[in-house]
Amino acid sequence: MSGWNPQVGPPGWGVQAAYTPPVIPPHDKTRGLSPFGMPARHSWEIPLLVVVVVITFFAYLFALVELFFGDSINDYLLILILAPLILWFGRGTNYATMRINGVKMSPTQFPEGYRMVQEAAARLGMKQAPDAFVITGNGQINAFASGHGFRRFVVVYSDLFEISGAARQPDALAFIIGHEVGHIAAGHVSYWRQLGMFAVPFLPIIGSSLVRSQEYTADNYGYCNRHVGAQGAMQTLAAGKYLNTLVGFDEMADRAPQEKGFFVWIVNALSSHPVLTWRMWALRDRSRHGKLFLRPDAPMMPPQPPPGFPPQGGYPPYPGGPQQYPTGGFPQQPPFPQGGYGDTTQFKRPI
């Protein structure tokens, strides 16, 4: 079959319809909590960042005053004075460790993960995709993002992949990669931002709440990148890569407003990541930002009967009501005629 026009197609082919992208359903583009539009920053992130940066600035100022006018310098003052150098050295060694020990994702090494990183960077509006590395997880489920200078990179633990290098749960891995790329897109790994947050470890509740709000923001990025993977990612974090399918996502999220008490509050307040029940609730309820300090409010719904029982008030009436049935019953069918219906050979199917 030669001589045909490739723009038209082989002989006998009809005119091919032009490609039309799928129609996106109506949505709110301003919230950034849905798969559409750009992701939203958590509502508490910037206010807490301002508070922490101001406290860190005065800590630096106090350290300099003590350096020039104080009688002695203790270890904490020395750490604050050398903070820019300590942070720069730590970021550099971390990046070098990944470069010489990690497996760099490429079209030939972990190609599925490499493609997910490229897609997430493009989806989240980054001009350049970050480097991505795979390191041995030794059973741990984790990933993180960092940078050094103008370079940014993502590290994924190997337990998120199968032995063949394919993703164990592709959607869940895409959500996790979108989460980590989101940290970079949101500026969380910037040197100057981390220098301004240097006092976070010394600020209980305030410091951990800022880090926790950043995790909620990164979850918004991951959700906008691959929303169908949020459930699998949380199940994996809850029970590991082998038992994740036994975790009921909704059942665990429903416990967020039920688990209460002072120690529940303090564990969440001191945590660097949202506790899993609250985090699952936030990923399920995309109408608002995740709760940072107080547990989620239970929806005002009447109690539901156990499975198998009729709903309260009984089942609704059948459409049309009983009037659609004859009061005296359906008419009786006429009996078969005696002797049958006669010769039916005329209705035989022709051979």
Which residue is it, tokens 């089942």?
A: 315
What mean pLDDT do residues 336-341 have? 62
Q: What is the pLDDT of residues 257-294, one digit of tens each?
A: 999 999 999 999 999 999 999 999 999 988 889 999 99
Going by the DSSP 8-state scheme, the letter that residue 275 receives in this structure is -
State CA 176 to chain mean position distance.
6
Q: Give the closest residue to 147 by CA, choosing from 86, 94, 215.
A: 94
pLDDT in tens, 226-244: 999 999 999 999 998 888 8
In contact, 293 and 209? CB cutoff 8 Å: yes
User: What distance in Å separates the CA atoms of residue 222 and residue 173, rounded to the nearest whole number?
Assistant: 10
Q: Where are the domains of the chain?
A: 30-284
Give the DSSP letter of residue 98.
H
Distance CA 96, CA 89 (A): 11
| Cα torsion through 294, 295, 298, 304, rounded to 10 | -160
Structure confidence at residue 218 (pLDDT): 96
Q: How confident is the model at residue 10, as a pLDDT?
A: 64
DSSP count for the chain of H helices, then E strands = 11, 4
Poorest-pLDDT segment among 88-97, 175-184, 245-254: 245-254
Place of tokens 């209705």: 347
What's the order of all strands across the beta sheet hosting 131-135? 103-104, 131-135, 151-157, 143-148
Selection from 154, 148, 157, 152 nearest residue 94 by Cα = 148
